């Protein structure tokens, strides 16, 4: 069974940092791009960014709201993706989801097929 | 950025009814569209990919259609377990964006 499990969420003060992890199982992790989404309370999902597979350089793309503060990385030897979040703001409060993606080079985009259960991040003083 | 406009924002229908949701993209996205179902406190679940392909394990009463800028999502015979919020999402370039969601309730 394909599974993604996020961890590392919690309560953090504004301006601090937090790192989320996403452990994949049931598939060849290194074959896929991995993307992060978030969903603030009462709102729809929002794309945060993704990391391409090593076959495509393992490079990253970010939403404007994440660029410069968030960093996505991966360790295929451990089947884990990471979301490093720095200089957190109250508006970053959300459930953060890790997803498995198919990367489409011709349109520089990623189609999501599997979602994790999510990790809750609360930014508050 | 590509804007995804979804309608209606909510609907109420009876068990067995046919329900249709529309999603309009602000520019041509070909067939690069997913439909998701999300129940309270749960992650979104992929139902339809490439505008009209049913994801694995998804009941056949769900279907999708359209291309370019106008897309539809249909539940052929609404069931009580279909109570949820449904989202469209494009993947024709970046950033990936979602429609505003449609909350489906049973009358």
Count A/B contacts: CB-CB distance under 8 Å.
59
Q: Which of A61-70, A105-114, B7-16, B91-100 has the lowest mean pLDDT?
A: A105-114
Higher pLDDT, A107 or B59: B59
Distance CA B14, CA B1 (A): 37
The chain A residues in contact with chain B (CB within 8 A) are 35, 44-47, 61, 63-64, 97, 104, 107-118
Q: Do A107 and B93 touch (CB under 8 A)?
A: yes
- CA closest to B56 among chain A residues: A113
> Residue range A13-41: average pLDDT?
98
Residue A49 class from Cβ within 10 Å (0-12 exposed, 13-18 middle, 19+ buried)? buried
Q: Is B65 helix (H, G, I), strand (E, B) or coil?
A: strand
pLDDT for A106 equals 84
pLDDT band at A108 (very low <50, low <70, confident <90, very high): confident
């Amino acid at each position: 069974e394909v599974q993604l499990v996020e961890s590392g969420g919690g309560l953090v003060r504004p301006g601090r940092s937090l790192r989320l992890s996403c452990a994949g199982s049931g598939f060849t992790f290194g074959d896929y791009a991995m993307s992060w989404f978030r969903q603030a309370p009462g709102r729809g999902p929002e794309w945060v960014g993704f990391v391409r597979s090593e076959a495509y350089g393992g490079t990253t793309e970010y939403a404007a709201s994440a660029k410069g503060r968030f960093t996505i990385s991966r360790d295929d030897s451990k089947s884990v993706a990471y979301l490093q979040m720095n200089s957190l703001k109250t508006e970053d409060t959300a459930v953060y989801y890790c997803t498995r993606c198919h990367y489409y080079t011709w349109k520089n985009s990623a189609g999501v097929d599997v979602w994790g259960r999510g990790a809750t991040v609360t930014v508050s003083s | 950025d590509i804007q995804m406009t979804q309608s209606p924002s909510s609907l109420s229908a009876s068990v067995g009814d046919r329900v249709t949701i529309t999603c309009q993209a602000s520019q041509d996205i070909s067939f690069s569209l997913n439909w998701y179902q999300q129940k309270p406190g749960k992650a979104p679940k992929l139902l339809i990919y490439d505008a009209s392909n049913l994801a694995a394990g998804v009941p056949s009463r769900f279907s999708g259609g359209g291309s370019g800028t106008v897309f539809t999502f249909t539940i052929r015979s609404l069931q009580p377990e279909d109570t949820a919020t449904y989202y469209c999402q494009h993947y024709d370039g970046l950033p990936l964006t979602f429609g505003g969601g449609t909350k489906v309730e049973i009358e």
